[in-house]
Amino acid sequence: MQLHLKAELFQKTGSFKVRGVFNKLLTLPAEERDRGLISISAGNFAAALAFGASVVGVQATIVMPSGAARSKVDATKSHGGEVILTDGDLLEECNALQKERGLTFVHPFDDLAVIAGHGTIGLEILDDLPEVDAVIVGVGGGGLISGIAVAIKTQRPHVKIIGVEPATADAMTQSLAQGQPVHIGHPQSIADGLAAPFAGEHTLAHVKEFVDEVVLISDDEIVEAMRRLILESKLVAEPAGSAAVGALLAGAISFPPQSKVVCVVSGGNVDPSVLKRIL
Smaller CB distance to a copy of itself: residue 57 or 272?
272
Stretch that binds a copy of itself, among 50-58, 89-97, 192-200, 271-279 (CB under 8 A): 271-279
* Dist CA 203 CA 216 (whole Å): 18
Using the contact rule CB under 8 A, the part of the chain among 16-24, 113-121, 231-239, 246-254 near a copy of itself is 231-239
Binding mask 65-84 for a copy of itself (x = CB under 8 A): ------x-------------
17 as an active site residue: the answer is yes
217 forms bridges with which residues in the sheet?
166
Binding flag, residue 214, a copy of itself (CB under 8 A): no
Whole-angstrom distance, CA of residue 61 vs CA of residue 19:
19
CA distances from 28 to 4, 37, 52, 197 (A): 34, 11, 13, 26
Burial zone of 177 (CB within 10 Å; 0-12 exposed, 13-18 middle, 19+ buried):
exposed
Which residue in 39, 175, 242, 266 is the catalytic one?
A: 266
Q: How many CB atoms lie within 10 A of CB 156?
A: 15
Report the phi/psi class of residue 142: left, alpha or beta, with left for phi > 0 and alpha for psi in -120 to 50. Answer: left
Q: Is 175 a catalytic residue?
A: no
Of the candidate residues 6, 14, 109, 142, the single one contacting a copy of itself (CB under 8 A): 14
Radius of gyration for the chain, computed over Cα atoms and rounded to the nearest angstrom: 18
Cβ 249 to a copy of itself shortest distance, Å? 17
Q: Which is nearer to a copy of itself, 87 or 232 (CB)?
A: 232
Query: Segment contacting a copy of itself (CB under 8 A): 85-93, 125-133, 217-225, 270-278?
Result: 270-278
Element (H, E) at 91: helix 90-101
| 220 forms part of the interface with a copy of itself (CB under 8 A) | no
Angle CA(223)–CA(132)–CA(191) in degrees, nearest 5?
20
Question: Cα–Cα distance between 167 and 187 in angstroms, integer?
Answer: 10
CB closer to a copy of itself out of 181 and 246 = 246
- Residue 156 or 227: which CB sits closer to a copy of itself? 227
Judge contact between 90 and 69, C-beta under 8 A: no
Asked if residue 26 binds a copy of itself (CB under 8 A), the reply is no
Q: Which positions from 236 through 265 interact with a copy of itself, judged by CB under 8 A?
A: 236-237
* Chain residues in the site for a copy of itself (CB under 8 A): 9-10, 14, 71, 227, 230-231, 233-237, 268, 272-273, 275-276, 279
